[in-house]
């Protein structure tokens, strides 16, 4: 999994390499004092979801982030993540 984005609330967004079936797995995880962690997996380009612990409002919020950056994650997944794709 390649790091992609860390939000102010310590939510981490990472993505996989392009899978054999052409999909990219995007994984989101937020620490939670009561439950330990909430998580969500989204498979691009279909946007198939697996949600664990997030309320609907948060799911919509994270989906907006994924939709606005999906083209980057799809590209980076073929190039070894952001660090390799950017040349850093």
Answer whether 0.95 is exceeded by the pTM: no
**pLDDT tens digit at each of 88 positions of the chain:** 999 999 999 999 999 999 999 999 999 999 998 889 999 999 999 999 999 999 999 999 999 999 999 999 998 887 766 555 555 5
Report whether 63 contacts 56 (CB < 8 A). Answer: no
Q: Rounded to the nearest 5 degrees, what angle is found at the Cα of 60, between the Cα atoms of 5 and 7?
A: 20
Indicate the SS3 state at residue 81: helix
What's the Cα-to-Cα distance from 36 to each of 6, 29, 65, 86, 87, rounded to whole Å? 18, 10, 23, 33, 35
pLDDT given at position 48 = 97
Give which of 78, 86, 88 is closest to 15, Cα–Cα.
Answer: 78
Mean residue pLDDT of the chain comes to: 90
């Amino acid at each position: 999994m390649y790091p992609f984005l860390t939000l102010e609330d310590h939510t981490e967004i990472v993505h996989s390499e392009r899978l054999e079936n052409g999909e990219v797995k995007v994984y989101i995880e937020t620490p939670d004092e009561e439950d330990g962690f909430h998580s969500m997996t989204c498979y691009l380009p279909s946007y198939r979801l697996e949600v664990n612990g997030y309320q609907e409002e948060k799911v919509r919020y994270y989906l907006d982030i994924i939709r606005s950056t999906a083209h980057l994650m799809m590209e980076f997944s073929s190039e070894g993540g952001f660090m390799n794709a950017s040349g850093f």
